Amino acid sequence: MAYASQIINHSKKLRSTPKLFRQASMVRWFSEDAQSSIDNEIWKIQGSGYKASGKGGIKNLANFNNRSQFLICQRGVSMMATSIGNPFSGSQINPARGFSSDSGLPPHQEVGMPSLSPTMTEGNIARWLKKEGDKISPGEVLCEVETDKATVEMECMEEGYLAKIICGDGAKEIKVGEVIAITVEDEEDIAKFKDYKPTSSNTGAASAPESPAPSPPKKEVVEEPVRSPQPSTVKQSPPSPAGERIFASPLARKLAEENNVPISSIKGTGPDGSIVKADIEDYLASRGKESTAPKAKDAAGAPLDYSDLPHTQIRKVTASRLLFSKQTIPHYYLTVDTCVDKLMDLRNQLNALQEASGGKRISVNDLVIKAAALALRKVPQCNSSWTDNYIRQYHNVNINVAVQTDNGLFVPVIRDADKKGLSTISNEVKKLAQKARDNTLKPEDYEGGTFTVSNLGGPFGIKQFCAIINPPQSGILAVGSAEKRVIPGSGAQEFKFASFMSVTLSCDHRVIDGAIGADWLKAFKGYIENPESMLL
């Protein structure tokens, strides 16, 4: 039990037994027979506040031997991450404090790549803000991590020293849980980790490479002697009498036509004397001409000039999610044209009020978001998601808005859009769009959406398109541009101009039947063509 005593006394920070058991989530590699003695030693060291309880004192203990490690995994204690100042749950990062009797390494903490979003499986190290040997304090940023959604800062919550950086600046495709750095408590321990490499048992991605599958046994191939082609003599039959039908395969006719072969002079060797391709080829060989079709153009030509652009993290995630959507969600599409004359008039009036009060202008897309949210409240079946056991219908109407940036496509969310005014929606959209362009979105800025709006009309002039559903949602609205059209007037000889905007609703047929999707579009069109109703 001397070894256990040495471990318990290794640090001033671990002398408080209540704190030790409050922070520790797992203790491994001690035999059950040693538990009672360990409990007693802890109790002796503390003097009070803890009483040995036999085998029930320390639970869930596995076998212990001198060649194993004593590992305390702390959850939510040592590290936390923020996305530009935003704290995440500490359980997302599982650093471990390891003690090895074999390696003789001092107490240290392995910092793993955290999972910072529901879809994140790997991340990149953008840059380290601390270097090896630096002292770290609670609240200081260690590094910036590129996730599948944004660039996230990772902070430290415990004092110590950064002993070793495993994954340096620009490290790519680091699996969640893989060790990226080592921290220690005492400065003199830093040098001992100069050549440190994480073991496969302590990193999520450092597993041994799979051995290649054994190749199937090669079959012995007995080469047959190459026979020189024997010139075949084609018997040419006298021309067929005029009007007599000639039977030939389509391929034979095509080959004969391409090589100007009089097909009537060929004696067929196919079924019932029909002419086949081989007959034409034999005829060409007998004439000493090259067979087959006209020479193809030189396929080689000049080499193509191109550049290979590496996949960004957001591009890989976008590709994966949208491919998953198209392969697993039965899409169908509904399109309707909406008259936007009244909408544009209302927008002009609202913007005049906004300018007078110093507010920001309201866009057509802001009005579309509001109309979509109110339509979802009226037809809640479209505000749902499919699961294997049930359809989940949401009571919150959270609208994701597609924003294209130089870094890729982002979909920040407007929460409770059905309850917010147009001015609030406008301000939030502009703020989130700027954060997307700056690549500073936080997870709460894009997670939790129940429906998506994608607008390629205003910015790009696209008349109409079909969007891919953003899983696990069941619908997305594709908004096209407005165009003037001539429509009949009240009289027989009268006509007038009006502006119409095409919108297409993509639906998950597992959740939304065609009639339900049509009801939603009817409600949406009603709000667009009578925009005053959105203000009630």
CA-closest candidate to residue 505, choices 381, 415, 347: 381
* 424 — pLDDT class (breaks 50, 70, 90): very high
157: in domain: yes
pLDDT digits (tens, 9 = 90+) for 190-217: 888 888 877 654 554 433 334 444 444 4
Catalytic residue among 169, 345, 438, 513: 513
User: Are 268 and 162 in a shared domain?
Assistant: no
Instruction: Read off the tokens for 320.
Output: 């994966």
Q: Is the residue at 231 inside a domain? A: no
Reply yes or no on whether 108 is catalytic. Answer: no
pLDDT-derived band at 61 (thresholds 50, 70, 90) equals very low
pLDDT digits (tens, 9 = 90+) for 356-384: 999 899 999 999 999 999 999 999 999 99
Q: What percent of the chain has pLDDT over 90?
A: 41
301 in a structural domain: no
Residue type at 86 in one-letter notation: N
pLDDT-wise least confident of 237-246, 296-305, 457-466, 492-501: 237-246
pLDDT of res. 245: 66
Examine the domain organization and report whether 452 and 365 are in the same domain: yes
> Is 48's pLDDT higher than 50?
no
Tell me whether residue 342 is in a domain: yes
Give domain status of residue 211, yes or no.
no
Confidence of residue 19 (pLDDT cuts 50, 70, 90): very low
In a domain, 242, yes or no: no
Alpha carbons 115 and 18: distance in angstroms, whole number: 29
pLDDT at 288: 66
Residue that has been written with the tokens 């509904």 in this structure: 334
Q: What is the pTM of this model?
A: 0.57
Q: For residue 266, what is the DSSP state?
A: B
Active-site residue flag, 418? no
Could you tell me whether strands 451-455 and 475-488 are parallel, antiparallel, or unpaired per DSSP bridges?
Answer: parallel
What is the predicted pLDDT for the residue at 194? 85
Asked, for residue 237, whether it belongs to a domain, the answer is no
- CATH code of 97's domain: 2.40.50.100
- Structural domain count of the chain: 3
Do 145 and 269 share a domain, yes or no? no
393 and 444 in a single domain? The answer is: yes
What was the pLDDT predicted at 244?
60
Pairing of strands 331-339, 141-146: unpaired
For residue 278, what are the domain limits?
Answer: 250-286
Residue from 10, 134, 337, 509 carrying the catalytic annotation: 509
Three-state SS annotation for 292-331: CCCCCCCCCCCCCCCCCCCCCHHHHHHHHHHHHHHHHCCE
DSSP 86: -
Residues 56 and 128 grouped into a single domain = yes
CA 151: distance to chain centroid?
Answer: 15
The answer on pLDDT for 389 being more than 60 is yes
Same-domain pairing of 260 and 141: no
**Band of residue 264 on the pLDDT scale cut at 50, 70, 90:** confident
What per-residue confidence (pLDDT) applies to 99?
A: 44
Are 437 and 514 in a shared domain?
yes
Per-residue model confidence (pLDDT) at position 467: 98
Q: What is the CATH number of the domain that holds 528?
A: 3.30.559.10
Same domain, 165 and 70: yes
In the listed set 286, 312, 344, which residue is the last one of a domain according to the structure? 286
